[in-house]
Amino acid sequence: MLAELSQLMVETATAKGERNVSIPSLPMTENYETAKGFCITSGFWMMIATFMGLLGATELMAPDILENIGWLVFGRVRPVHVNLVLFGFVTPGLLAAAFYYMPRLLRTTLYSEKLGVVSVLVWNLTLVATVVTLSAGYTQGREYAEMIWPVDMMVVISFLLVFINLFLTLRTRKEPVLYVSVWYVFAAIVLTATTYSLGNVIWRPGSGALRGIPDAILLWFYGHNVFGLLLTPLALGVTYYVIPKAVNRPLYSHTLSLIGFWSLIVVYTHIGTHHLIQVPVPTWLKVIAIVDSIGMVIPVMVVLINIWYTAKGELGKIHADIGAKFVFAGTIMYFFVSIQGSMMALPQVQRVTHFNNWVVGHAHIGVLGFAGMISLGGLYYVLPRIAGKPLFSRFLADFQYWMVLIGVSGFTIVLTIAGLIQGNAWLNGETVYRVLPQIHLYYVIRASLGVMIFLSAVVGFYNIIRTLYFNPGESAS
């Protein structure tokens, strides 16, 4: 076992340290159309998704601003925002990086760029269908499982297309050892396609739901895992690729990679019911959820120790690469959001934090701070490499980095304050209505921070397009 592990480390070290450091000369067949497609997808939908978020935030601050425009009512804007962030911005960004590093880690070319482009197109069609159906009020009404059955099918097909392409790429690999990023990508796609189908109750096309309490249990099993089995593994895949490459070092420990990978799948899948601690569901299930939520410290810290020790003493190199800088910031957010998440599963903490803006803050630090920043990091890391030219503007990328970092930190601070005000006021017997003016100020600040995030998305999209298509920079080859 030990010998095998050290062999693994040496092999990966060789693969990473020597061959892949500089931008390699590419085989003629490899033009990264798929990775480019997912970069543009991510950049474009980040603008739309963050705009919808900004719109929702504005409506909470000024409820009559779009009075009686039905398809822009808050209850429709919110699911559009959430689903676009999830499937439009973060996931495609992480896939863009995956479609770049998977062939390299497997020492082969992508099975089919054509199939890849088709998957990008189907993916975008799915997102358009998502926006149209949810805005028109066609929804299953279940948080994170809103899309109606035909759109569910499109989502599953999109994942299957990506899976087929990457699996056939795997079949032609010349690299016998599978690097940890490869594990995460396959696990993410397979597990998400499965939990998505399960969570959306696709065997019941009419409602996409179960009945009564079992529906709540299934919904939160899925609702939690759509992050833990999609965003987390894809983001960790990118992290495991970008950080060792950026610091030009082998991974600190493959034992930790193994523990981190399997413990994530085992532990994360148990904890969905921590959303239902104050609901009449079986107590043993709540106990499992709480214990495993605390147990999440293991998969999280194992991965972070592995990554941080790999980067130890080399922060200068991380700072020098805008992609690695985003990814590294994302790992710090991962630390905060996970520790916070474990604490929030405790019933005593939930008395204050449940049902209010604290949770919204938690969601933003997780999806924008952790997965979103790593998604942007992966995107900016691969962008010059797939364009064959340097990034159009490092300044704009840095600008986006700071806008996102300040924005998401600000969100967390103001939403946490608002949540504490709400939670404590309610425990003190104040009505929901009476607390509204007390949190108004924080809604205003949140919307202002939303402007920063949205503008950074516009800047990012411009940077992506200029880098890929109108790039005055010298060709790197």
Partner 1 sequence: MRMTPLAIIVGSLLLLFTIVFMVVVTPWYTTRNQAPSEIFRHRETPEAQGRLIYIENGCVYCHTQSIRTIDWGIGAERIAQAGDYIADHPILLGSERTGPDLSQEGGEHPDDWHMAHFVNPRFTRPMSIMPAFKFLGTDKLRLLTSYVQSLGMKDADARVLRQLYWKEAATRAYEAGPVENVRWLHDHVPEGWRILPNPYPTTPAGLARGHKIYQDFCFGCHGPIGDGMGPAQPFIYPPPLNFTILKNTDISGGILYYQIMNGITGTAMPYFKKDLESEKIWDVGNYVAVYFINQTDADGEPKAIDAANEPMDMPGEESSDQPPVGPDLPE
Q: Which of 17, 23, 33, 138 touches partner 1 by CB under 8 A?
A: 138
- Interface residues for partner 1 in 80-119 (CB under 8 A)? none
Distance, in Å, from the CA atom of 45 to the CA atom of 315, rounded to the nearest integer, reads: 31
Q: Which of 178, 315, 413, 441 touches partner 1 by CB under 8 A?
A: 178
Q: Which is nearer to partner 1, 203 or 433 (CB)?
A: 433
Q: Which is nearer to partner 1, 124 or 340 (CB)?
A: 340
Contact flag: residue 78 with partner 1 (CB under 8 A):
yes
Contact flag: residue 411 with partner 1 (CB under 8 A):
no
Give the pair of three-digit tokens for residue 403: 């806008």
Q: Which is nearer to partner 1, 276 or 396 (CB)?
A: 276
Contact 264, 297 (CB under 8 A): no
Contact flag: residue 16 with partner 1 (CB under 8 A):
no
Using CB under 8 A as the criterion, what x/- string covers residues 215-254 for binding partner 1?
A: xxxxx-x-------x-------------------------
Number of residues engaging partner 1 in binding (CB under 8 A):
89
- Interface residues for partner 1 in 23-62 (CB under 8 A)? 59-61
Query: Which residues lie below 8 Å from residue 473, measured CB to CB, with a gap of 6+?
Result: 389, 390, 391, 392
Q: Which is nearer to partner 1, 289 or 296 (CB)?
A: 289
Contact 302, 334 (CB under 8 A): no
Q: Which is nearer to partner 1, 74 or 308 (CB)?
A: 74
Q: Please, what is the minimum distance in Å from the beta carbon of residue 403 to partner 1?
A: 26
Q: Which is nearer to partner 1, 268 or 380 (CB)?
A: 268
Q: Please, what is the minimum distance in Å from the beta carbon of residue 475 to partner 1?
A: 36
Sole window of 9-17, 119-127, 258-266, 386-394 interacting with partner 1 (rule: CB under 8 A): 258-266
As a residue count, the chain comes to 477
Q: Please, what is the minimum distance in Å from the beta carbon of residue 383 to partner 1?
A: 28
Contact flag: residue 256 with partner 1 (CB under 8 A):
no
Q: Please, what is the minimum distance in Å from the beta carbon of residue 160 to partner 1?
A: 13
Residue whose structure tokens are 């147990």: 295
Q: Which is nearer to partner 1, 387 or 415 (CB)?
A: 415
Q: Which is nearer to partner 1, 97 or 191 (CB)?
A: 191
Contact flag: residue 283 with partner 1 (CB under 8 A):
no
**Which amino acid does the sequence have at 39?**
C
Q: Which is nearer to partner 1, 44 or 159 (CB)?
A: 159
- Interface residues for partner 1 in 350-369 (CB under 8 A)? 351, 354-357, 359-360
Contact flag: residue 208 with partner 1 (CB under 8 A):
yes
* Cα 384–Cα 386–Cα 388 angle in degrees, nearest 5: 65
Sole window of 214-222, 308-316, 389-397, 456-464 interacting with partner 1 (rule: CB under 8 A): 214-222
Q: Please, what is the minimum distance in Å from the beta carbon of residue 405 to partner 1?
A: 26
Q: Which is nearer to partner 1, 229 or 452 (CB)?
A: 229
Contact flag: residue 278 with partner 1 (CB under 8 A):
yes
Query: Which residues lie below 8 Å from residue 341, measured CB to CB, with a gap of 6+?
Result: 293, 296, 362, 366
Q: Please, what is the minimum distance in Å from the beta carbon of residue 71 to partner 1?
A: 9
Sole window of 116-124, 282-290, 400-408, 447-455 interacting with partner 1 (rule: CB under 8 A): 282-290
Contact flag: residue 335 with partner 1 (CB under 8 A):
no
